Structure formats: C-alpha cells, structure tokens
Amino acid sequence: MLFEHRGNVSVGCRPVIHCRNLGSALHFCCSVSGWARARWRRRRRARDAKRSRSRSPEDHARSPIAPRTKTARIMLNMKLKERLALAVSAFLVLFTLMLVVDLQMDYGISGHRVPLHGRVSNADTEDKGRSAYIEFRKRFLQKSNGSNGSREYEQSAPSETSGGGVEAEPRTPAPPTDRYEDLQRILFIQIQGKAEDHTVIIPPHRDLNVLRPDNPNIGEMEDLELSLNASNLERFQLKIAQHELYEEEEPLVEHLLKDMATSPILHVEQKEGGTQLKLIIDYPNGVQALFKPMRFARDVQTLPNHFYFSDYERHYAEIAAFHLDRILGFRRAMPVVGRVLNMTTEIYDVTEGDILKTFFVSPANNFCFHGKCSYYCDTGHAICGNPDMLEGSFAAFLPSSDIAERKVWRHPWRRSYHKRRKAQWELQSDYCDTIRTTPPYDSGRRLLDLMDMSIFDFLSGNMDRHHYETFKMFGNETFTLHLDQGRAFGKAFHDELSILAPLLQCCLVRHTTLSTLLKFHNGVSLSKVLRDSLKKDPVDPVLWEPHLAALDRRIVIILDAIRKCIDKIDTPLQNEVNDFV
Ligand SMILES: Nc1ncnc2c1ncn2[C@@H]1O[C@H](COP(=O)(O)OP(=O)(O)OP(=O)(O)O)[C@@H](O)[C@H]1O
Ligand SMILES: [Mn+2]
C-alpha cells in the first residue's frame, strides 16, 4: 500500500525496497519523508479544499480518486513510528513470500533438486538414527550385561524369511584376533597333570566321562546276545554304553543312517505323546525311526511373536543337531538322517486309523495331511507335499523300554513355559549353589553334562530343554541323552544368552569341552566342519548359511563367558556381582 502512492515520498522510497541493505535504506527513506511530508501535506490540503468546494456530494461519492485520497490521508496522518512498523511488516510479508517460492523450487518445481535433497536428507536422518540406536543398544547391553538373561547379537538380515540368494553365501570369517591363550595355558597345565583342581575348568582326572572306570553297554548289562540277522539298529542299540551312545568313528552310525534313508517303508503310524506331529516309521527287520516332517524352508526363522514353547518343530534342526553333537564329541544324540518320501506310497498307503481321515488335496493341488496332536494339527497347519513328495528327518529309534527303560528328569534350568511367569533360575542369582548341593548334581558327571547341554543348546539356539532323559540301568553316573532338537536353529541372527544360564551361573566346564571349543575357534571353524559333515546327508544343504555362521560367533561368546568366570575367581572382590545372568 505504501508503494502505491504517487507522491514524492512514496516514489522516493520505492527504489529503496530493492536495496540490499535494508536498514540504511529504511533510514534514508524515513528521513527524506519527514521533510517532504509537511510540504506535501500543505499543498494537498489546499487542493483538496478547492476540489471539495467545486464538487457535489454525489460526485464525491462516485469519484474513483476518493478512496485513494482517503487512504493517502490516513497514511499522512500516521505517525512516523506507525509507518515504520508498516514498512517492516510489509518487508516481512515479502520476505516470507520469497522464502515460500524458494522452498517450492526445492521440493516442488525443480525436478532435479527434489530427489537429490530428499535422498541426502533422509539418509542423513536414518544414519544418525540407526547409529544412535546401535550406540544406545551397545551401551545398554554393556550396562545390563545380560542381567535379564538375554542378550541379542543381531546382524544385518533380521527378516523372518530371507529368500536364500546372495545373503546365503558363506562369509569368510575374519581371522580370530583373540586366541584365548590364557585358557589354552590352563588346559596345557592340566594335561601335564601339574594342575591343582580348578573350580571352573574340570580337569580330565576329575571327570568321570574321561575316566570311565566302567563303561558297560546295554547288551552286557542285559545279557543280550545278537542274532545272526540282527539289524544295524539292534546292534547299535545294544552297544549303547554307560558313558556314550556310540563310540567315536563307530561304523554302525553310517550304516544306520543309510538304512533309514534307503530301506523300504513298511508301515507308518502317528506317535503318541509330545506336542507336534511325529510318525513312527517301520522298516524291514524290525528297524524303526522317528519321523518329523518338513514344514518350512530352511531360511524360515522362528516367528518373532512365538514363544519357544509354541515354535514349530524343524526337521532340519534334528539332522543338523545330530551332526553337531557328534562333531563336538558328545555323542549323546541318536543318529538322524534326511529323506524325501512319496506321501502316497510311503505314508498314505501304509498307514491306517484316524490319521487317514486328515489327508486332503490342497487348493494348490498338493497332497496334505495334519494328523492329530495338541499343536498345529489342523487344516491351517497341514503338512503338504510337493505335490506329494515330502521331506523329513528320520531319527534312529531308541531301544524299547523292555530292553532299556529311560528315566525322565526335570531340567533344573527349565523355562517357565508360561507367557508371564519366570522360572526360579531367572529370579535367584545363586541358583546354582542350590543345584550343586542337590543330588544327583552334587557329585559325579551330571552337572558337567548339563553344562555341555547348555553349550550344545546355546550353539544351536535350542530353548526347549524342559526335560532330559537317561538310561535307568546305568544309574546316575551316566550321560544325559540329547533328545528332541526340533526347535533348534530357529534364529540365525540372535544369540540367546539365557540358554547359557547353567554355565554362566555355575561357572563350570569340562576340560575336554573347552578344549574342543578352542580347537574350532583357533583352527578349522565349527561352521566349516559342520557344513562338510552335513554334505553327506541326502537332503543337503541341511542348514541355512546364517545358522552355520552363528556357530562360530557363539563359540566366541562361550569362550568369553568362561574367561569371565576365571577372572571372577582370580579377583573375587571385583566380580562380586553375578553380572552375566
Ligand atoms: N529317537 C527316538 N526314539 C524313540 N523315542 C524317541 C526318540 N526321540 C524321542 N523319543 C521319545 O518321544 C518323545 C517325544 O519326542 P520329542 O520330544 O522329539 O517330541 P516333541 O513333540 O518335540 O515333544 P515336546 O513337544 O514335548 O517337546 C520324547 O520324550 C522321547 O521319549
Ligand atoms: Mn520338542
């Protein structure tokens, strides 16, 4: 409005608005206007008076000049302060307008600048957000250091299903920076027999699994003789000994695996007990196997909202866990092999009873069935062939209870199996002190076996260890069976530290187990040895690569934990707090 005046003052001010130095321009404009205003006002008043005398009131109303004159009069009547305020606000409005136009150039009009700006600024925020998150997480984990019993080591592919491909390529692990020479030294001294007893690492001369004063097998214990046409499974079963299921390099294991993978299937029936569907497979000559069907591809991971107790069983986990148990030198898991079945001829045609009623053809024309069990035995969770070929795991059958009865033990570090309740070991920091003084954990090999089981389960990510079993005839001084690994290998990018709770709370490990872990850490990696071992299986590749990679990562975590335990006894005062679990 100010710049619409035609008088000297406004004309005099107009160029000023284009000046870059607004402050001095305004000052100039206003000092000029002060002098000119009085003169102009006098002249104007005289002219207006003349005009109003010569015009009628109607003329006055009709005249287009009238409002402008009025405005000008208002302007002239304004005080200097008011005019200055007006000038500043007008400038501000203009300035804002210019800004808006400039912004539009950035985000709307200019086709080049939009994506560039967008990308750069987004990446910046994301990067900052992510690194801040990682930093926070790192600090949080350092601070809590597993006080809640669970620590995550998430890697770059946290998707639930990752379709094989590029991600599944084996990564070359970086050479180990820490060879754990301190731990190696302790083992070396123990081997030389010079060592005193160690509270964390139990030397071979104190370990019944190494000493084995007696190691009878089932055949000897039961006085059973093998018939000439005895199957490989019978031979295997009678050779099960007090301290291990089978000897190192036992040739029967390979024979047994071959039998289960190739022998004709005579009969199938659903196994009672357990929560998920399992079939008992009958082969010629009385050989039996426990079949777990394939439900998902190898790279389908545990659903994030599933508890360990509602996780699906994975057939490949049973196969991989058997190999892992053997490689680690435990030999406490029954041999398991993979095989692809024809559902029509090798299941449907050779079974009877209620299970038959659960077979159907899916909309995708695949042959399916769901059986009857308490978890996932319904149409929505059916087991489907492709179109009628079905893969599964076949575990060699344990000797019947007529020959070798088993004792079922409640695992002291059992989880609560309730979505809100916590188990005793999660609440009591000195929980192991209680267990150590309770039979059968107060002497012999049992507690050490649970430490091995904890390591075995941590490596494979198996949280489902509610019970364990032993052969009754061998009493308490016998190995613990590694049965039911169906829920292992479910989360490749997460290391569940709470599985290690027994080891972390008791600070106890076998010399032989530690030695095996160090051998893999410093030599040929566990992932490589397991990958090579699994190559012999008919359904190889058995494990998704990230699961194999996880093993090498988890070994380091176990070694760190053992070192921490030793530090604790060396400097007890500094480590009073049980800061792992
Ligand atoms: N190889 C085997 N031979 C004979 N019996 C077996 C074998 N493996 C497991 N069993 C028996 O079958 C039972 C159920 O097996 P498993 O635990 O694998 O099934 P599950 O459905 O996973 O059970 P749960 O849901 O209780 O974990 C076991 O408790 C065990 O006694
Ligand atoms: Mn199970």
Q: CB neighbours of 522 closer than 8 A, spacing ≥ 6?
A: 176, 179, 180
Q: What is the pTM of this model?
A: 0.73
- Per-residue confidence at 76, pLDDT binned at 50, 70, 90? low
> What is the reported pLDDT for 307?
86
Stretch 252-274: mean pLDDT, rounded? 95
Using a pLDDT cut of 70, give the percent of the chain over it: 70
437 within 8 A of 490, measured Cβ to Cβ: no
The closest residue, in CA terms, to atom 23 on ligand 1 is 274
**What order of strands is seen across the sheet that includes strand 389-396?**
267-270, 279-282, 288-293, 389-396, 336-342
Query: pLDDT tens, 461-482?
Result: 999 999 999 999 999 999 999 9
How far is the C-alpha of 366 from the C-alpha of 400, rounded, in Å? Answer: 36
Q: CB neighbours of 14 closer than 8 A, spacing ≥ 6?
A: 3
476 within 8 A of 208, measured Cβ to Cβ: no
pLDDT over 90 (residue 279): yes
Q: Which atom of ligand 1 is nearest to the CA of 396?
A: 1
> What is the reported pLDDT for 134?
34
> What is the reported pLDDT for 196?
72
Instruction: Please indicate if the annotation marks 398 as binding a ligand.
Output: yes
3-state class (DSSP) for residue 467: strand
420-429: long-range pairs with CB below 8 Å, 24+: 425/501, 425/505, 426/149, 426/498, 426/501, 429/505, 429/578, 429/581
How far is the C-alpha of 124 from the C-alpha of 111, rounded, in Å? Answer: 21
The closest residue, in CA terms, to atom 14 on ligand 1 is 274
Instruction: Please indicate if the annotation marks 244 as binding a ligand.
Output: no
> What is the reported pLDDT for 135?
35
The closest residue, in CA terms, to atom 3 on ligand 1 is 397
512 within 8 A of 445, measured Cβ to Cβ: no
Distance 321 CA to ligand 1 centre (A): 14
Q: CB neighbours of 345 closer than 8 A, spacing ≥ 6?
A: none
> What is the reported pLDDT for 418?
87
Instruction: Please indicate if the annotation marks 276 as binding a ligand.
Output: yes
Helix residue spans in 471-525 (DSSP H)? 501-506, 511-522
How far is the C-alpha of 458 from the C-alpha of 228, rounded, in Å? Answer: 42
Question: Which position has the token pair 């760190």?
Answer: 560
Dihedral of the alpha carbons of 500, 506, 511, 517, in degrees to the nearest 10: 20
CB atoms closer than 10 angstroms to residue 7: 17
- Per-residue confidence at 82, pLDDT binned at 50, 70, 90? confident
Distance 269 CA to ligand 2 centre (A): 18
Stretch 90-101: mean pLDDT, rounded? 62
Active site residues: 464
How far is the C-alpha of 78 from the C-alpha of 72, rounded, in Å? Answer: 10
> What is the reported pLDDT for 14?
37
Q: Which residues of 519-558 are buried (b: 16+ CB within 10 A; e: fewer)?
A: ebbeeebbbbbbbebbeebbbeebbbbbbbbbbbbbbbeb
Query: pLDDT tens, 151-192?
Result: 333 333 333 333 333 344 556 656 658 999 999 999 999 998
Tell me which residues have their CB closer than 6 angstroms to ligand 1. Answer: 273-276, 278, 290, 313, 334, 395, 397-398, 464, 483-484, 486
CA-based torsion, 519, 524, 525, 528: positive or negative:
negative
pLDDT over 60 (residue 11): no
Q: Of the given ranges (80-84, 222-226, 458-462), which has the lowest mean pLDDT?
A: 80-84
Stretch 367-391: mean pLDDT, rounded? 95
Dihedral of the alpha carbons of 28, 29, 34, 35, in degrees to the nearest 10: 70
Question: Which position has the token pair 């949280």?
Answer: 463
Using a pLDDT cut of 90, give the percent of the chain over it: 62
43 within 8 A of 76, measured Cβ to Cβ: no
Reference 451, options 377, 514, 397; nearest CA is: 514
Query: pLDDT tens, 393-414?
Result: 999 999 999 999 999 999 999 9
Q: Which atom of ligand 1 is nearest to the CA of 397?
A: 3
3-state class (DSSP) for residue 209: helix
- Per-residue confidence at 194, pLDDT binned at 50, 70, 90? confident
